[in-house]
Amino acid sequence: MELNQITLPAVDVAESIRFYRTMGFEPIVEESHYARFRSTVGDATFSVHAVGEIFGPSQTVVYFECQSLDEEVDALKAKGIAFFQEPRDEPWLWREARMHDPSGNTICLYHAGKNRLAPPWKVRR
């Protein structure tokens, strides 16, 4: 199976569309209650759908891999996007930076290289 998409709740879909456009994503579908975006690399998609409110902080984290993480973070910060975690090397061998989208969903930009699919502790079959 191939993952098709992730759908995130959005209190204000129009604001979410602006946010994700600022990140460089172009909508495939854009309605007042729903928008779907194509990944900037590959064929994966993600969407936002209207909700009345968000109940508590989401425990879901959406990951987008960047080949040049630090440069991507700098470019997004220059466009006004705030990060609550600056790029840092993690013990699981990924470099990550984190932000919240307008509805409070956590977005992680990261670079893992070969460690995404083949970390040193990969399950051997």
pLDDT in tens, 70-108: 999 999 999 999 999 999 999 999 999 999 999 999 999
> H/E element holding 16?
helix 13-22
pLDDT at site 59: 85
pLDDT in tens, 11-49: 999 999 999 999 999 999 999 999 999 998 888 999 999
Dist CA 51 CA 13 (whole Å): 9
Dist CA 37 CA 46 (whole Å): 5
Chain centroid, CA 108 distance in Å: 5
Domains observed in the chain: 5-116 (3.10.180.10)
The residues that bridge with 64 in the sheet, in sequence order, are 109
